[in-house]
Amino acid sequence: MALAIQCFDLDTTDPDRVATFWEAALGWRRTYDTDDEVVLEPPEGSPQDGVAPDLLFLRVPEGKAVKNRWHLDLRPDDQDAEVARLESLGATRVDVGQGDGATWVVMADPDSNEFCVLRAFTAEELAEIAAERAG
């Protein structure tokens, strides 16, 4: 059976506002834009183009009420710098019970949708990943 994920959908009362945050955060491009729906895709020609699912922001009448059941985990090269950059774009740090020893930072976008900024891979982990991909 052939099955692929096309979109990761996110309900919001303001698709433009939330898409604007994620567009800046990820450096992705808008490929569809109406008052009720905005689609973001990876940069054209990038390694993620045609591989990563689109992000679809859909207008709904109600605001977010509880913790997300799905969320994004982002892996930066520099966790501290990325957290600071995302805060400058409008993200906030949130506590969802992750505890003081967590190696990730839980944040929320301008619509209160949680996501995590993971620690950077170590040089050893990167070498292991490269070796696995090489065969």
Confidence of residue 29 (pLDDT cuts 50, 70, 90): very high
User: What pLDDT, in 10s, does the model give residues 46-67?
Assistant: 999 999 999 999 999 998 888 8
Phi, psi of 26 (to 5 degrees): -95, -15
- Average pLDDT of 7-36? 96
- Average pLDDT of 70-97? 95
Going from N- to C-terminal start, the domains of the chain cover: 1-63, 65-135
1-63 to CATH, choices 3.90.470.20, 3.30.720.120, 3.40.640.10, 3.40.50.10790: 3.30.720.120
Contacts of residue 17, Cβ cutoff 8 Å, sequence gap at least 6: 110, 111
For residue 1, what pLDDT is reported?
Answer: 67
65-135 to CATH, choices 3.10.180.10, 1.10.760.10, 3.40.50.2300, 2.40.30.170: 3.10.180.10
- Average pLDDT of 65-89? 93
Q: Pick from 78, 57, 77, 68: which is nearest to 107 by CA?
A: 68
Is 133 a residue whose pLDDT tops 90? no
For residue 8, what pLDDT is reported?
Answer: 93
